[in-house]
Amino acid sequence: APTFQTISSSDTLSYTYFIINGAMQIAQRGTATSSSLNGWSTTGSPDRFNMDSNLSSLTGTQSQDSESPDGFAKSFKVDLTGNTGAMGATEYISIRQKIEAQNLVSIKNGTAGATSLTLSFWVRSSITGTYTVRIKKEDNTAREITDTYAISSANTWEKKTLTFAGDTSGGGIDNNIGTGLQLSWCLGAGSNYTSTDSSSWINTATAGQFYGHTATFTSQNATFYLTGVQLEIGTSGTEFEYLSYGDELDRCKRYFIKDIADRYWYNG
């Protein structure tokens, strides 16, 4: 007679995580671009990740790079080629990924049973200091929460794990193809974005967007790398879930398809 193995709640199951292309394997939009990084820029970054900045003088390269910690082969690299000087009060630079709303039903956002989320990732920067990750919910009442982490040693890969409480307010996330959550890794932010406490969920406020961030990523030739990104339900992180290249590519193609004539369709 056949025997069956019991799967406990602590076992890792495929596709239980919300980030797509967290190992930065897929780069359909090109592996590098060198230009102004001002605005919402996607070209040259790994799929599903992009730069978001309002520093008009910021120039540099965003790319898929082979520099990576053990167990990974690729990373998202930001390399500043121009010296932007001091960070202005109204300026910021970040990396972000948007998560489709209907993929987030299980987190019960906006209900009494809203679940905690744990974010884990590997990071390396030439600039030490305190950095911020922000989660923004866009549907109904816009909401946000931030947490900080330290880059302790320059040019050294470090693994970070941050836990965010579930949000019981704000009307929840709609079950549709829009943006449910937006995650932003802040590299630098002026005082207009850092003065309102958003360490617990608040209604979105410009001054709380990157609360607690003090590192200034504006030096010429500064570098920042990100990989191994995973977001999951619960208060502790699990080991990174490696998907095959083909599986990860299929997930990315929902949002970007490029054909042999270099024509493409892009959504988010």
Q: Strand runs (DSSP E) across 112-259, as ranges?
A: 117-125, 129-137, 143-151, 158-164, 179-189, 202-203, 223-233, 256-258
Mean pLDDT computed over 158-183: 97
Mean pLDDT computed over 241-249: 96
| pLDDT at 10 exceeding the cut of 50 | no
Q: Could you write out the DSSP letters of every residue in 1-23?
A: ----PPPPTTS--TT----SSTT
- 230 vs 14, more confident: 230
Q: What does the alpha-carbon distance between residue 143 and residue 18 come to, in Å, rounded to a whole number?
A: 19
Q: What does the alpha-carbon distance between residue 266 and residue 222 come to, in Å, rounded to a whole number?
A: 30
Give me 109's structure tokens.
Answer: 């956002």
Comparing C-alpha atoms, which of 53, 78, 51 is closest to residue 63?
78
| pLDDT at 11 exceeding the cut of 50 | no
Count Cβ neighbours within 10 Å for each residue of 41-66 and write b for 16 or more, e otherwise: bbebbbbbbbbbbbbeebbbbbbbbe
Q: What is the residue-averaged pLDDT of the chain?
A: 89
| Residue 179 Cα distances to 8, 142, 237, angstroms | 32, 12, 24
- Whole-structure pTM value: 0.90
The amino acid occupying position 13 is: L
Please give the pLDDT value at position 38: 67
| pLDDT at 4 exceeding the cut of 60 | no
Mean pLDDT computed over 80-96: 83
pLDDT tens, position by position, 188-228: 999 999 999 999 999 999 999 999 999 988 888 899 999 99
| pLDDT at 173 exceeding the cut of 80 | yes
| pLDDT at 86 exceeding the cut of 80 | no
Q: What does the alpha-carbon distance between residue 131 and residue 149 come to, in Å, rounded to a whole number?
A: 5
- Which of the residue ranges 51-60, 168-177, 241-250 would you say has the lowest mean pLDDT? 51-60
Mean pLDDT computed over 67-96: 89
Q: What does the alpha-carbon distance between residue 2 and residue 70 come to, in Å, rounded to a whole number?
A: 39
Q: Report the SS3 class of residue 210.
A: coil
The amino acid occupying position 192 is: N
Count Cβ neighbours within 10 Å for each residue of 242-258 and write b for 16 or more, e otherwise: ebeeeebeebbeebbee
Q: How many helices (H) and strands (E) in the chain?
A: 1, 15
Q: State which H helix or E strand residue 52 sits in.
A: strand 50-53
Please give the pLDDT value at position 114: 98
Mean pLDDT computed over 76-90: 82
First to last CA, the chain: 50
Mean pLDDT computed over 139-151: 98
Comparing C-alpha atoms, which of 82, 32, 77 is closest to residue 56?
82
| pLDDT at 7 exceeding the cut of 80 | no
Q: Label residue 87 by pLDDT band (50, 70, 90).
A: confident
Percentage of the chain lying above the pLDDT 70 cut = 87
pLDDT tens, position by position, 34-73: 766 766 666 788 999 998 888 777 778 889 999 999 999 9
Mean pLDDT computed over 155-165: 98
| pLDDT at 183 exceeding the cut of 60 | yes
